[in-house]
Amino acid sequence: MKRRELIKGLAAGSVVGLAACKGNRTAAGPAAPAAAARREWKMYTTWPKNFPGLGTGANRVAELITKMSGGRLTVTVYGAGERVPALEVFDAVAQGSAQMGHSGSYYWKGKAESSPFFCSIPFGLTAEEMNGWLYFGGGLELWRELYAGFNLVPFPAGNSGTQMGGWFRKEINSLADLRGLKMRIPGLGGEVLARLGVTTVNIPGGELFTALSSGTIDATEWVGPYNDLAFGLYKAAKFYYYPGWHEPGSTLECIVNKPAYEALEPDLQAIVAAACDAVTTTMQAEMTARNQAALQELVGKHGVKLLPFPAEVLQALMKTSEEVVAASAGKDTFTQRVYASYKAYRDTVIENSRIGTQAFLNARSAR
Ligand code: CA
């Protein structure tokens, strides 16, 4: 009994102590703490509203922030074109017309040469390797330094995993078959194909089906089976190539207007970061879980022809990718720093992946 009373007494004391710390006691008891400031944020995205994987990932960031903050910070998501076009998210958030955005950094190569390194570059890093560089290899610090110049704070917020090589209206049996094609492919991957005779363009995902089915483009990459099925790309092209050499593990970004972020209390800042971290995991999980079923539907139900790029094509893509990435790195001193960090990490992590994941996958696939 004595012990129970002691515990009861301690518990009561801790409550009183806590209330005393807050002050403003009245005769009726401790006053409620002052109402916390409530904020309503907008999130603009590059994806159609609720688009599988990418849009749903953006939704999860918003929902997590809203719930974890107990409604002190509520985030409303807008799909591409609802408030601003898909590829104007960066400028809109930088200027503060929305406090937050969800997109991919390689869309902003025209603004910052180094930006693709924070999303994906040809023959670069897988999702796991990319997370290692960003979180523990110095990548995120460099990304923050770059975006500070644009009035933005970036967070990794999702990863597509290794993408597919893309949809082609005709079969690709040699390098010669690539020449003269018009293909939608953003980032450095587009520059690689341009050197191999492809005319490359970048158009938002929501416009891909129309462009491909009307013949405005002959080929397009988008993401992977789950996302590509959702756009119905199989109705416009039948040849579906792998692997996604150009995007081995694309990090999606959540960008926050810098003054808006800095005005948050420290716990809300931590909540924003934690929500983005969570979605880095769950988006990749969603892609992994859904891609296989989508691929079966594409091949089994819609008659899609699934093909690997010929060895000759992949070898040329790799050699040209090295040239293009090195040329990009030479364009300005900041990109040189990013490239040096990325390359040093990639050179070492490749060996670890070779004897770890790669050796295991080879063993598991052996028949
Ligand atoms: Ca892509």
CA of 217 to the centre of ligand 1 (A): 16
CB 163 within 8 A of CB 221: yes
Domain assignment present for residue 205? The answer is no
φ, ψ dihedrals at 199, nearest 5°: -85, 115
CB 45 within 8 A of CB 89: yes
CA of 139 to the centre of ligand 1 (A): 21
Measure the CA–CA gap between 233 and 208, rounded to whole angstroms: 8
Length of the chain counted residue by residue: 367
CA of 42 to the centre of ligand 1 (A): 25
Domain assignment present for residue 225? The answer is no
CA of 7 to the centre of ligand 1 (A): 59
CA of 31 to the centre of ligand 1 (A): 55
Domain assignment present for residue 59? The answer is yes
CA of 109 to the centre of ligand 1 (A): 15
CA of 10 to the centre of ligand 1 (A): 59
CA of 277 to the centre of ligand 1 (A): 21
Measure the CA–CA gap between 338 and 332, rounded to whole angstroms: 10
CA of 34 to the centre of ligand 1 (A): 48
Domain extent for 146: 39-159+249-288
- One digit per residue, the tens of pLDDT, for the chain of length 367 reads 444 444 443 333 333 333 333 434 444 555 545 567 899 999 999 999 999 999 999 999 999 999 999 999 999 999 999 999 999 999 999 999 999 999 999 999 999 999 999 999 999 999 999 999 999 999 999 999 999 999 999 999 999 999 999 999 999 999 999 999 999 998 899 999 999 999 999 999 999 999 999 999 999 999 999 999 999 999 999 999 999 999 999 999 999 999 999 999 999 999 999 999 999 999 999 999 999 999 999 999 999 999 999 999 999 999 999 999 999 999 999 999 999 999 999 999 999 999 999 999 999 999 7
For residue 178, give every residue at least 6 positions away whose Cβ sits within 8 Å of its Cβ, in sequence order, or none.
172, 193, 196, 197, 198, 313
What are the distances in angstroms from CA 65 to CA 72, 77, 268, 271?
9, 12, 8, 6
CA of 221 to the centre of ligand 1 (A): 6
CA of 280 to the centre of ligand 1 (A): 17
CB under 8 A, 24+ apart: contacts of 86-90: 86/45, 86/46, 86/47, 86/204, 86/205, 86/206, 87/46, 87/202, 87/204, 89/44, 89/45, 89/46, 89/255, 90/150, 90/152, 90/255
Domain assignment present for residue 196? The answer is no
CA of 163 to the centre of ligand 1 (A): 6
CA of 197 to the centre of ligand 1 (A): 20
CA of 223 to the centre of ligand 1 (A): 4
Measure the CA–CA gap between 104 and 57, rounded to whole angstroms: 13
Domain assignment present for residue 128? The answer is yes
Domain assignment present for residue 150? The answer is yes
Q: Which pTM does this prediction carry? A: 0.88
Q: Specify the number of domains making up the chain.
A: 1
State the pairing for strand pair 39-45/199-201.
Answer: unpaired
Domain assignment present for residue 360? The answer is no
CATH of the domain at 68: 3.40.190.170
CA of 296 to the centre of ligand 1 (A): 20
Domain assignment present for residue 46? The answer is yes
